[in-house]
């Protein structure tokens, strides 16, 4: 299967990621340049909030026209040093460095260049505000989180929370290492959190196109999840790993199992069925 065709499948799998930053300010105090933002971040110990955009990006323009003009978002953005970078001009090299492929993408970087958060695609104001508030809070609490885990590696709750943070920061190896240790201590009562951690690590590997690494974690997520939607989404993850490896025969039954999961939400069921139809179209066109 052609990779550009699969990108549309991945976007649909996310069920909420829409690709598309226009240049309008919309109330947020954007820095004039990345060097300026970096200097401010070093001086104030704040994260840099980079909005990667392009002039042709429709969802970027919608982000400017709605989300970035929301009073709560404007207020919360003061916790960061915001800057807008055009991926086809001044932001090209930085976008390549951090693997920005879809627009809009909002990265949250420390003054040393470490990724501490990422938002991919358009988000409405309320959800965007919640997301950036969480990133700011994690930035403040991260040193204590690491200290708590190191003091007691058997603390399952602390470990699984740290796994989620590492994944969001793109630190997959560390996330997997902490998760492996947490598996040894996790009580049965923590299975829902453990399942979500499996899904997070799987998703992190998937985004990095490391499908062989993502697959076993998606399978563990299927095995440990109890909620129908969680089971179905994890199965779709398994199927997509196969799809990206051109293993369409293996992918189809996983999509079907996701669609047939008892109690699954109609939107997820429809999405799984749409994937099956997509595979049928590819097969009919000689793609298999």
177-180 contacts at long range (C-beta below 8 A, 24 or more positions apart): 178/149
Helix (H, G, I), strand (E, B) or coil at 81: strand
What pLDDT is attached to residue 13? 43
pLDDT at residue 189 is higher than 90: no
Grade residue 287 by pLDDT with cuts at 50, 70 and 90.
Answer: low
Residue that is written with structure tokens 């009562």 in the block? 189
Mean pLDDT of the region 9-24? 38
What domains can you pick out in the chain, each with its CATH number? 3-135 (3.40.30.10), 140-284 (1.25.40.10)
For residue 10, pLDDT over 70 is answered with: no
Question: What would the pLDDT profile of 33-81 be if each residue is shown by its tens digit?
Answer: 999 999 999 999 999 999 999 999 999 999 999 999 999 999 999 999 9
Cα separation of 225 and 234, whole Å?
Answer: 9
Band (288; pLDDT cuts 50, 70, 90): low
Whole-number pLDDT of residue 11: 43
Q: Mean pLDDT in the chain?
A: 88
- pLDDT score of 25: 42
pTM: 0.73
Residue carrying the six token digits 């039954």: 253
| Secondary structure (3-state) at 116 | strand
């Amino acid at each position: 299967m052609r990779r550009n065709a699969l990108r549309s499948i991945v976007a649909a799998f996310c069920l909420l990621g829409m690709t598309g930053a226009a240049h309008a300010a919309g109330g947020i105090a954007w820095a004039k340049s990345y060097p300026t933002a970096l200097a401010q971040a070093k001086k104030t110990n704040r994260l840099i909030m980079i909005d990667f955009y392009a002039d042709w990006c429709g969802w970027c323009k919608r982000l400017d026209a709605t989300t970035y003009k929301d009073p709560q978002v404007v207020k919360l953005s003061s916790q960061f040093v915001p800057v807008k970078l055009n991926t086809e001009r001044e932001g090209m090299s930085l976008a390549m460095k951090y693997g920005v492929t879809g627009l809009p993408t909002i990265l949250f970087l420390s003054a040393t260049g470490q990724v501490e958060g990422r938002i991919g695609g358009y988000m409405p104001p309320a959800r965007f505000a919640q997301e950036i508030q969480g990133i700011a809070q994690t930035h403040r609490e991260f040193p204590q989180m690491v200290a708590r885990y190191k003091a007691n590696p058997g603390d399952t709750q602390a470990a699984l929370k740290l796994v989620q943070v590492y994944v969001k920061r793109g630190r997959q190896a560390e996330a997997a290492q902490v998760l492996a240790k947490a598996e040894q201590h996790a009580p049965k009562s923590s299975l829902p959190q453990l399942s979500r951690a499996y899904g997070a690590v799987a998703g992190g590997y998937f985004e990095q196109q490391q499908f062989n690494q993502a697959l076993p974690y998606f399978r563990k997520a299927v095995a440990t999840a109890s909620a129908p939607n969680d089971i179905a989404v994890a199965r779709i993850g398994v199927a997509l790993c196969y799809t990206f490896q051109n293993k369409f025969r293996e992918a189809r039954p996983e999509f079907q199992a996701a669609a047939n999961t008892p109690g699954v939400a109609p939107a997820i069921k429809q999405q799984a069925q749409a994937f099956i139809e997509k595979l049928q179209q590819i097969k009919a066109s000689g793609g298999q």
